[in-house]
Structure 1
Amino acid sequence: MSGELAGRVTDLGYALGWRAVRAAPPGLAAGVFRAGADLAARRDGPGPRQLRANLARVLRHAGAEPTDAELAALTADGLRSYARYWCEAFRLPAMDPVALHDAVDPTVLGVEHLERALAGGRGVVAALTHSGNWDVAGAWLVRALHRRGEPATFVTVAERLRPESLYRRFVAYRESLGFEVLAADAGARTVATLAARLRANRVVCLVADRELGAGGVEVDFCGEPARLPTGPAQLARHTGAALLPFAGWFTPGGWGLRFHPPIEVPAGPAGPAVRAATQELADVFAADLAAHPADWHMLQPIWTVDRTPIEVAR
């Protein structure tokens, strides 16, 4: 199958998914996605194997020594969690945003850190991992900002997907939830827009547990070298915005969210300051992942030792 045809098939699959899953009974849809996750676990392809290796590092850094059986069970749980994310993503546009906010709001921890930063007019860079349902977190945030009398949107950055029609589909999906979405490959234009939004006391949400380009910095992440993106720390240093680690996870019947206290970007030369803040962010991420390992949907290599030169270039 040619690359162009494969892209069209992928785009069509997502389009059908958004329609079919919303039309299906919730229990049936959840069961189908769970069955798919269990099949992926049994096949044990490259993604599940990488997830297992990633989770092993998280657990060992937290002081555990998991057996092969325990890692296999955790990986299966992680794939089910990832399947739940996709099932919810396909259903989310049809959900009542007020009811969703009211379901999530009682579980949000540390919201005072967000409120304090906005009250100070600093703007907020919320840095998060690929954990839980970040789209649900965004939908909650949109409604929470609206209830505070703030502009009822926040800004995020999206990786350019192929084909272009699939990228536009995901942008439209997140814009329908109230997000402002900027292209990651727009370079200086995107950075300038993010800085302008922060100076206007807005919220910028950035997923920051995987480097996508060449702009990261090497830190100690769960006891091993890994490159994480410097965007959150750079934006906070450049604009004076508060840098808040933001955690998400699933509960049996809902979602958990937590804003951590702000990370202060040190004064002094940019390089060491950004590196120090990114290291502190990595340490917070490591603790969050250890608390909810099954909800970290990281099926890609992020540690330096796992990444080939080709993967780094990509």
Structure 2
Amino acid sequence: MKERLVDAAYAAGWGLVKSLPEGLARKAFQSGADLAARRNGSGPQQLRRNLARVVPGAGPQELDDLVQQSLRSYARYWKETFRLPNTRAEVIAERMNEHVTGRENIDEGLERGKGVVIALPHTGNFDASGIWVAQNYGRFTTVAERLKPESLYERFLAYRRSLGFEVLPLTGGETSPYRVMVERLKENGIICLVADRDLTKMGVPVTFFGEETRMPVGPARLAASTGASLMVVDNLFVGDGWGARFHSPRLVESRAHVQAATQALADSYAKDISEHPADWHMLQKLWLADLSDARREALG
């Protein structure tokens, strides 16, 4: 029953929200964010703990304000998720052009002929950044977790494919997504992966804002296996539009360097997040210190 209700809610979002006037939609999502801040449920509470690491000198009132701003930013992301299909992709990419830096890093990576792996945190609106990449470089490849119910997963699959993305299921596909991504890189393609949280045995330990956590090994491992350039993109909200900063690429010489490369990604994420912490949408537990003893032991 709960899964059907969630699916129905998302269906209503794509059906109703995109038909609302922009001002009304903005006000409704902002009001929802403010209500969530006042109710202070488990998500906002964890967000506060996470942001306290990002801005360690913040007092209680500053943290309260930052949590509210972050929830508003997160609400904006979801409002845009439901409304982006209303705007032609080429228009979105054109609006972003003056707020995109580091494009030469992608160009240089592709000139090497071994593809580019772009890793990103949960900042801003990464779908907008994806639209810009797709419009300027053709289709790129990413991976999506298989949500429940299946109908909800299919909605997100259709949504992101409509934006010009090739989306591979993390599990349950006909072939391994890793194998497909290796093939795309051999074809000098682009891979984009959200990679700032992986609290599983597959994640590798890193230090992030001075504390231990785990992050996905996939981006660095792909770069090591194929010779692809590895870089970070910072997704930005710029006024009522978007921007992106593509940072200098690095090469991962071998699998022996994957750990160090993943730590370098974490350091780059931390620098960007510190500059605009309200636009980092991390309402889940991230650091190992926040996990139960049993959960930490299970990670090994």
Q: Could you say what secondary structure the match of 1:185 adopts?
A: coil
1:184 offset after TM fit, Å?
A: 1.2
Give yes or no for the alignment of 1:103 onto 2:95. Answer: yes
Separation in 2 of the partners of 1:262 and 1:95?
Answer: 31
TM-score, normalised via structure 2 length = 0.95
1:53-102: CA deviation from partner (whole Å, max 9, x where unpaired):
11111122xxxx10010011001000000000000000011111121111
Separation in 1 of the partners of 2:143 and 2:291?
Answer: 23
Q: Retained in 1: the 8 A contact 2:116–2:188?
A: yes
Separation in 2 of the partners of 1:186 and 1:52?
Answer: 35
Separation in 1 of the partners of 2:167 and 2:13?
Answer: 22
1:200-234: CA deviation from partner (whole Å, max 9, x where unpaired):
01100000001054211111111000101110000
Separation in 2 of the partners of 1:122 and 1:55?
Answer: 37
Separation in 2 of the partners of 1:111 and 1:311?
Answer: 40
Which of residues 202, 215, 220 is equivalent to 2:202?
Answer: 215
The residue aligned with 1:182 is 168
Separation in 1 of the partners of 2:184 and 2:146?
Answer: 21
Q: Which structure 2 segments of 5+ residues have no match?
A: none
The residue aligned with 1:87 is 79
Question: Bigger CA drift: 191-200 or 248-257?
Answer: 248-257
The residue aligned with 2:228 is 241
Q: Could you say what secondary structure the match of 2:197 adopts?
A: coil
Residue 71 to residue 304, structure 1, CA distance change in 2 (3 Å): same
1:140 offset after TM fit, Å?
A: 1.1
Separation in 2 of the partners of 1:312 and 1:19?
Answer: 44
Residue 212 to residue 15, structure 1, CA distance change in 2 (3 Å): farther
> Equivalent residues in 2 for 1:72-221 (5 A)?
72-145=64-137, 152-186=138-172, 189-211=176-198, 213-221=200-208
Separation in 2 of the partners of 1:262 and 1:138?
Answer: 18
Give yes or no for the alignment of 1:226 onto 2:209. Answer: no
Q: Could you say what secondary structure the match of 2:198 adopts?
A: coil
1:280 offset after TM fit, Å?
A: 0.6
Which of residues 265, 270, 283 is equivalent to 1:281?
Answer: 265
1:266 offset after TM fit, Å?
A: 4.2
1:181 maps to a residue whose letter is V
Question: Bigger CA drift: 300-309 or 183-192?
Answer: 183-192
1:274 offset after TM fit, Å?
A: 0.9
Residue 142 to residue 312, structure 1, CA distance change in 2 (3 Å): farther
Aligned-CA RMSD value: 1.6
1:247-270: CA deviation from partner (whole Å, max 9, x where unpaired):
112122211201001123244xx2
2:276 maps to a residue whose letter is H
1:13-53: CA deviation from partner (whole Å, max 9, x where unpaired):
10111011111000100100000000000001110111111
Aligned residues, how many?
297
Which of residues 285, 294, 297 is equivalent to 2:281?
Answer: 297
The residue aligned with 2:42 is 46
TM-score, normalised via structure 1 length = 0.91
1:262-288: CA deviation from partner (whole Å, max 9, x where unpaired):
123244xx2x41110001111000000
Q: Retained in 1: the 8 A contact 2:199–2:213?
A: no
Residue 89 to residue 313, structure 1, CA distance change in 2 (3 Å): farther
1:120 offset after TM fit, Å?
A: 1.6
The residue aligned with 1:23 is 19
Residue 311 to residue 7, structure 1, CA distance change in 2 (3 Å): farther
Q: Could you say what secondary structure the match of 2:196 adopts?
A: coil
Identity %: 49
Separation in 2 of the partners of 1:28 and 1:216?
Answer: 41
The residue aligned with 1:148 is none
Q: Could you say what secondary structure the match of 1:182 adopts?
A: strand
